[in-house]
């Protein structure tokens, strides 16, 4: 992420623990967080201050325009839903310790946390989370709203579909395609393609359920 010389403004939509990590990345990159919103007051983190009510309560009253937004909501389906109803522009948040190839592409609203690595010719979609120390190797395609959890390792030519969550410390061997809205459990070793909506756990990874979200 290019370090700003003058302060740039950004708003954060979501005020839980994930929002705290995003805020730290933004402040490190010389941003000012002008507003923080949340739809669920009960989920607000104790360290999040001055949190305004989100757009759900009254979509037309919400200040959609203005400073760009980062959707700081960890649940992939909720992040996707919010991105559908907000009419805002989006910012990215990339920790200065992340190593990102010049030939990779990163979509709007995406966050990349400390120590993550993104290797050449990889494409990361919109509103994706590349979490702490995740390793996304060459020629990957990561769909919109996906989450690659801390310390997950994706080998070369891996695909992760829209909205899929790869759990903490999971490993995906080369050329595997994970469908959309899948859940890959913590520590799972994925050695073959995974169909849409599947939850996979263990070593080798086995499907324990397939459930299309309602």
Ligand X SMILES: CC(=O)SCCNC(=O)CCNC(=O)[C@H](O)C(C)(C)COP(=O)(O)OP(=O)(O)OC[C@H]1O[C@@H](n2cnc3c(N)ncnc32)[C@H](O)[C@@H]1OP(=O)(O)O
* DSSP 8-state assignment for residue 90: B
CA distance 28 to 94: 10
- What is the binding site for ligand X (CB under 6 A)? 131, 149-150, 167-168, 183, 185-188, 199, 201-202, 208
Catalytic residue among 18, 95, 138, 147: 138
Q: Which residues pair with 210 in a beta bridge?
A: 198
User: Residue 184 Cβ, how far from ligand X at the closest point, in Å?
Assistant: 7
Closest to ligand X by CB, 86 vs 93, is 93
Pairing of β 111-112 and β 93-94: parallel
- Cβ contacts of residue 165 below 8 Å, gap of 6+? 76, 146, 147, 149, 182, 183, 184
Closest to ligand X by CB, 129 vs 176, is 129
Closest to ligand X by CB, 31 vs 113, is 113
User: Residue 30 Cβ, how far from ligand X at the closest point, in Å?
Assistant: 24
User: Residue 129 Cβ, how far from ligand X at the closest point, in Å?
Assistant: 8
138 is catalytic: yes
Question: What is the distance of C-alpha 32 from the center of its chain?
Answer: 21
Q: Which residues are marked as active site?
A: 138
């Amino acid at each position: 992420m290019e370090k700003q010389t003058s302060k740039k403004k950004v708003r954060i939509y979501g005020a839980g623990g994930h929002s705290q990590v995003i805020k730290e990345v933004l402040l490190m990159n010389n941003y000012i967080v002008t507003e923080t919103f949340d739809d669920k007051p009960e989920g607000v983190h104790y360290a999040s201050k001055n949190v305004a009510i989100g757009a759900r309560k009254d979509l037309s009253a919400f200040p959609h325009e203005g400073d760009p937004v980062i959707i700081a909501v960890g649940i992939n389906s909720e992040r996707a839903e919010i991105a559908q109803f907000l009419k805002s522009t989006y910012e990215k948040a990339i920790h200065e310790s992340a190593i990102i190839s010049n030939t990779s592409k990163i979509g709007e609203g995406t966050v990349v946390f400390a120590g993550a690595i993104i290797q050449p010719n990889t494409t990361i979609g919109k509103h994706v989370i590349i979490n702490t120390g995740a390793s996304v190797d060459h020629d990957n395609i990561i769909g919109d709203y996906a989450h690659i959890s801390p310390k997950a390792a994706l080998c070369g030519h891996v695909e992760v579909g829209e909205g899929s969550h790869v759990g903490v410390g999971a490993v995906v061997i080369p050329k595997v395609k994970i469908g959309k809205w899948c859940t890959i459990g913590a520590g799972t070793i994925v050695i073959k393609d995974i169909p849409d909506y599947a939850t996979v756990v263990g070593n080798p990874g086995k499907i324990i359920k397939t459930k299309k979200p309602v």
